[in-house]
Amino acid sequence: MKNVLITGCSSGLGRALAIEFARQGWQVWATGRKKETLSDLVPLGIKAEELDVTSEKQVCQLISQVAAEGGIDVLVNNAGYGAMGATVEMPETEVRMQFETNVFAPLKLVQAVAPAMIERRSGTIINIGSISGQVVTPFSGTYCASKAAFNSFSDALRIELKPFGIDVMSVKPGAIRSRFAENAKQALARALPENSFYKPVEKALWKRANASQDRPTSAEHVARVIVSRVKAGKASGSLKLGNGSRSLPFLQWLLPESVFEWVLSRVFQLNHLK
């Protein structure tokens, strides 16, 4: 039985992936910040483990534990964190948390898992990024920057690890049903200053925080597509899934930069500011 390690399984796509991999006969190691949020996965034969992906100690302990039970055949870097708000007003703590969770944590996991994959000349790494790493929108600058970095190192990994028989797939979702918006709104509530320059368009900030739940694609559908790619040995390259994942990049390509930015400024009411 092959092992798959998935981060961020408390809800959304991570949870759906854990269930789908288990349904397909894999031994799933599902992780989350709080183990109790994973308890209902255990009856499905899924191993639930508490993991703060930003803790190097916890990561090393878990990798050693899985290695003792056959090693990791597939790593899914799904855990993520998003804080929305005006770039010039974003607290440094929120910026750092996004990069720690969205960039440095998955990089450390890859560096911990890859050596064993290289030695046996097989393995798959799936990085769940975001279309926000390609199409930048107002009030999400630091989040978009972290996902752009994630996309970039995924592309480099794919080329570097291919000679060793390791597949790397970068998934760039659009809107997928999850608790991401709920968490993003909590972060915005912490980050939005009372005297914000953007107070007149505060509704637009909340709109951006909730954008991931705008006509979202079901997490279960996305999970089925990803798992089917892994089973077919086609988990490489880039994969765009979810509402907006293809239409937004196409619109950005189609329109002149100035026109695209004009559209965004009106969608997010920036034309109302003086």
- Read off the pLDDT of residues 141-189 as tens digits, 9 standing for 90 and up: 999 999 999 999 999 999 999 999 999 999 998 877 766 666 666 666 6
Convert the pLDDT of each residue in 74-89 to its tens digit: 999 999 998 888 899 9
Q: How confident is the model at residue 210 (pLDDT cuts 50, 70, 90)?
A: low
Model confidence over 235-245: pLDDT tens digits? Answer: 889 898 877 78
Average pLDDT over residues 61-65: 94
Residues 128-140 have pLDDT tens digits of 999 889 999 888 8
| pLDDT at 193 exceeding the cut of 80 | no
> pLDDT-based confidence at 43, cuts 50/70/90?
very high
269 band by pLDDT with thresholds 50, 70 and 90: confident
Q: What was the pLDDT predicted at 194?
A: 78
Catalytic residues, by residue number, are 143, 147
Domains and CATH numbers, the chain: 3-272 (3.40.50.720)
| pLDDT bracket for residue 268 (50, 70, 90) | confident
Q: Give the rounded percent of residues in the chain with a pLDDT score beyond 70.
A: 91
DSSP line for the chain = --EEEES--SSHHHHHHHHHHHHTT-EEEEEESSGGGGGGGGGGT-EEEE--TT-HHHHHHHHHHHHTTT--SEEEE-------S-GGG--HHHHHHHHIIIIIHHHHHHHHHHHHHHHHT-EEEEEE--GGGTS--TT-HHHHHHHHHHHHHHHHHHHHHGGGTEEEEEE---BBSSSHHHHHHHHHHHH--TT-TTGGGHHHHHHHHTGGGSSPBPHHHHHHHHHHHHHTT---EEE--SBTTTHHHHHHHHS-HHHHHHHHHHHTTGGG--
**Mean predicted lDDT score pLDDT of the chain:** 90
pLDDT at 214 over 70: no
